[in-house]
Amino acid sequence: MTTWDELEQVVLAWPETTSTPSYGGFPALRVNKKLFARLRGEMADDVDDLTGAPYGEVLMVGVGDLGEKAALLADDPEQFFTVPHYDGYPGVLVRLARADDAVVRELLLDSWWRTAPKRAQKAYEEQFGPLPSPPG
């Protein structure tokens, strides 16, 4: 399990990364002003079909393509899901209460890397070291 505040603390250490209000005033993570993930706070009180309880914190994070999205949804439907709003969009929703912290951080880094300009990627590698393999 992980929380938005924990993820945000890690991600804001990455170059050119900010957290700004987005849809409905809920926070969104951006690199060089481009959105790569956000908290879907508007879903917090909605009842989750899987659990029968409110969703709580839900992360929307961009993925490489629709194939990656389909694989995540099929591999772990308790952690990942989608709603019709994201049909045809390469992004998944993550139930943070059921999320594997390491997997979510990897997804965020992949999304950040795809969105970040080359100078931010270079600054990341200077600060944190090279990535084991570049995100797809």
Read off the pTM: 0.92
Q: What angle do CA 121, 125, 127 make, to 5 degrees?
A: 115
pLDDT at 120: 97
Evaluate whether 96 touches 2 at the Cβ level (below 8 Å). Answer: yes
At 23, the amino acid letter reads Y
Q: What angle do CA 109, 114, 115 make, to 5 degrees?
A: 95
Alpha helix positions (H), 1-136: 4-11, 66-75, 101-115, 118-128
- At the second CATH level, the architecture of 4-128 is Alpha-Beta Complex (3.90)
Alpha-carbon separation of residue 43 from 23, 46, 93, 135 (angstroms): 12, 5, 11, 29
Number of Cβ atoms within 10 Å of the Cβ of 118: 7
Please write the tens of the pLDDT for every residue from 18-43: 999 998 899 999 999 999 999 999 99
